[in-house]
Amino acid sequence: MNTRTTGGEGVILIVDDNATNLGVLFDYLKNATFRVLVAQHGKAALELLQEARPDLILLDVLMPEMDGFETCKHLKENPATRDIPVIFMTALTETVDKVRGFELGAVDYVTKPLQHEEVLARVNTHLTLGRLKQHLIRKNEELAAVNRNLAHLVQEKTRQLVQQEKTATIGRMIQGIVHNMKT
């Protein structure tokens, strides 16, 4: 398996059986400050994903052994990889192919020949969406914890108020009894 990595702000896995396409896209994304992983076919990508967790996958559709559709299907069936956004890259332009990709869980689709600025814009968009989604998940978890704490406090305060009311009622009853005994 041929794998190269660079440093940067996000980790992108490129899966393409064409070494030239891999090299050009690798260099472009590396220069855009991303860490880049590469795999030359779907099986190699699945093996690599046992060790690495990219933030996004650029996945060619037409590859030998295991095409991009099958690779995406495996990714989305695996709990460890199902949330990684997948952008398909392909020369296929028929609507049926695009729809199939979306049905399998892809978040986007770019056609070859790739326009690097478009790829970068889509990568940045989906990385931003992914970060915002994770932020929202964390905030929802924090909110749920605060709600649980508030529910516990309300329950405790309610218990205290009920106890105070019982004590006050007993006090009033005793006062009434004492008052009746004096009269």
- Domain membership of residue 33 (yes or no) is yes
Distance CA 123, CA 87 (A): 8
For the chain, how many structural domains are there in total?
Answer: 1
Would you give the end-to-end CA distance of the chain in angstroms?
100
The residue count of the chain comes to 183
Alpha helices, H only, 8-67: 19-31, 42-48
Sheet holding 35-39, edge to edge: 35-39, 11-15, 56-60, 86-90, 108-111
- Domain membership of residue 77 (yes or no) is yes
Closest CA to 11 of 47, 49, 46: 49
- Domain membership of residue 149 (yes or no) is no
On the 0-12 / 13-18 / 19+ scale of CB atoms within 10 A, 103 is: exposed
- pLDDT for 85-134, tens place per residue? 999 999 988 999 999 999 999 999 999 999 999 999 999 999 999 999 99
Task: State the Cα angle at 70 between 64 and 74, rounded to 5°.
Answer: 130
Distance CA 116, CA 44 (A): 24
- pLDDT of residue 183 exceeding 80: no
- Domain membership of residue 45 (yes or no) is yes
Q: Report residue 73's pLDDT band, with 50, 70 and 90 as the boundaries.
A: very high
Distance CA 48, CA 44 (A): 6
Q: Which structural domain, as residue segments, surrounds residue 37?
A: 11-130
- pLDDT of residue 64 exceeding 50: yes
- Domain membership of residue 6 (yes or no) is no
Residue 102: which CATH number? 3.40.50.2300
**Cβ-based neighbours of 51, under 8 Å, separated by 6 or more:** none
- pLDDT of residue 53 exceeding 50: yes
Between these two residues, 152 and 4, which has the higher pLDDT value?
A: 152
- Domain membership of residue 150 (yes or no) is no
- pLDDT for 126-182, tens place per residue? 999 999 999 999 999 999 999 999 999 999 999 999 999 999 999 899 998 888 888
